[in-house]
Amino acid sequence: MEKKENISELREKLQEIYHLGSALQVLDWDSQVFMPPKGAAPRAATISNLSGILHEKFISKEFAALLKKAKANLDGKKMNDEESAIVRELWREYERQKKLPLAFVKEMSQACSEGHNVWIKAREKSDFKIFLPVLKKIVALKRKEAELVGFKKSPYDALLDTYEPYATSEDISMIFEDLKNFLVPFLKKIAKAKGKVDPNIIQGNFPTEQQKQFDVEVAKKIGFDFEAGRLDTSAHPFSTGFHPNDVRLTTRYRKHDLFDSFFGVIHETGHGLYNQGLSVEHFGTPLSEAISHGIHESQSRMWENNVARSKNFWKYFFPKLQSQFPEPFAKISFNDFYRAINNVRPSLIRVEADEVTYSLHIILRFEIEKELIEGSIEVEDLPKIWNAKMKEYLGIEVPNDAAGVLQDVHWSGGAIGYFPSYTLGNLYAAQFFNAAKRDLIDLEKEIAAGEFGHLREWLRQKIHIHGKMYSADGLVREVTGEPLTSQYFIDYLKEKYSGIYKL
């Protein structure tokens, strides 16, 4: 009895904390989607106030006492697996947060808020020197954060932990090294290939309303529940979940390129399916939270790339696309279309990169930020190092800072340690998709028939519903039978692009 009561009291207190979290998500969503411009300053104050209340509640003596009591029971193995997982994850988070003094948290928050504003100006003027002083301050604070939190081998791991709990940069380095060793020569082979692709044939003139209609139709078809979510427009596409029954996606529309919004919506739908698939029963505990950014990204990448950029997918949807947008698609052959949406070309901007080059953008950033936090490079050197790596990995010259080291928002807001998640997502996606094909023998046929129910249910049961029950590593082993490897992603790229480019 004692033990049951303990966790139930803890869960009750947790509800308050998680509902504050949901409220913060709503405030953030509104600020990106609908808020009028003058609302920005008061909204920032409201968000900062609520964040403070949430932090206070989480590290309060009252909550700490409940958590410590539960932790003692956990160590004494008096709990079931679910209770253990809840306490384990809360304890991890509590340990981290209580190591950060309030004054430090506020200083960091202020530096990042300033950093973001300065970064916008620096990017506008394409001048890294404008960004330099504030980025130096942010990096110094992040190094301090790593010291405060503590780490085993690299201080970078202490930051990585926010996005990829339990992961180490040593493991990631090894996997990324394998991937890089494959990608760089593979990309050169594609560049020299005889099979050329014309990406311009799929450009056209597409009214926003018609684009949205097509996007929503496909999102519904792959299983997004619009009774428990919606799709809106924002400058930077994103997705968020207030609760499994209230999940919001956004996109943006480009008149001449419907695939910008289309693949964007499929990507966000992948995130949305994860959020809708989380446990309603366990809402308000880590068991209804995503495992890691990398696992979250695996869900968006799988639907966007492994599914929606595949031949099978378009066997079903290409005729629909042709009938809804006869101009230009009616006169394009299936094969030319398929090649056009899978065109590979080294480019400057990460968010516009294709499946093959994308991970090289990430590996570059991972290598740089790791060394930056470890202190083997300094902030002043970033443009030079960035440009050299772009030349080495992608073979292109960076013409200016805006198209180079200043392109991403992440560092300006203190999100150092975040980038690896994107490529981990690609790797997890390939490995999971391989396991799904093993478990669901008709999967390829189903996709070609526009049937996604089995895959969606498989993902829900294997991944979504568990929340943080497993670590990312534990989940991958549980679902695929082996630890994460770059091999499935490499095999996938090899097979797909050897066909497209006739290598």
Q: How many residues bind a copy of itself (CB under 8 A)?
A: 36
Q: Is 268 a catalytic residue?
A: yes
SS3 248: strand
CB of 242 to a copy of itself, least distance (A): 7
CB of 420 to a copy of itself, least distance (A): 32
For residue 45, state whether it binds a copy of itself (rule: CB under 8 A). yes
Tell me which of 83, 268, 289, 304 is the catalytic residue: 268
Residue 174: closest CA among 420, 422, 476, 429: 420
Q: How far apart are CA 217 and CA 263, in angstroms?
A: 13
At 302, the amino acid letter reads M
Q: How far apart are CA 421 and CA 362, in angstroms?
A: 9
CB of 37 to a copy of itself, least distance (A): 5
Q: How far apart are CA 10 and CA 6, in angstroms?
A: 6
For residue 437, state whether it binds a copy of itself (rule: CB under 8 A). no
Do the beta carbons of residue 184 and residue 360 sit within 8 Å?
Answer: yes
CB of 164 to a copy of itself, least distance (A): 28
Do the beta carbons of residue 486 and residue 178 sit within 8 Å?
Answer: yes
Total residue length of the chain:
503
Among the residue ranges 189-197, 237-245, 384-392, 413-421, the one whose residues contact a copy of itself (CB under 8 A):
237-245
CB of 207 to a copy of itself, least distance (A): 14
Each residue 383-422 as x (binds a copy of itself by CB under 8 A) or -, in order, gives: ----------------------------------------
For residue 44, state whether it binds a copy of itself (rule: CB under 8 A). no
Question: Which of 165, 223, 229, 270 touches a copy of itself by CB under 8 A?
Answer: 229
Task: Calculate Rg over the CA atoms of the chain.
Answer: 23
* Sole residue written with tokens 């929606």: 308
Please, is 265 exposed, middle or buried when counting C-beta atoms within 10 Å of its C-beta (0-12, 13-18, 19+)? Answer: buried
CB of 20 to a copy of itself, least distance (A): 7
Q: How far apart are CA 298 and CA 429, in angstroms?
A: 5
Do the beta carbons of residue 282 and residue 467 sit within 8 Å?
Answer: yes
For residue 59, state whether it binds a copy of itself (rule: CB under 8 A). no
For residue 55, state whether it binds a copy of itself (rule: CB under 8 A). no
For residue 283, state whether it binds a copy of itself (rule: CB under 8 A). yes
Do the beta carbons of residue 233 and residue 251 sit within 8 Å?
Answer: yes
For residue 16, state whether it binds a copy of itself (rule: CB under 8 A). yes
Which residues contact a copy of itself by CB under 8 A? Answer: 15-16, 19-20, 22-23, 26-27, 30, 34-39, 41-43, 45-46, 49-50, 52-53, 225-230, 232, 242-243, 245-246, 283
Give the active site residues.
268
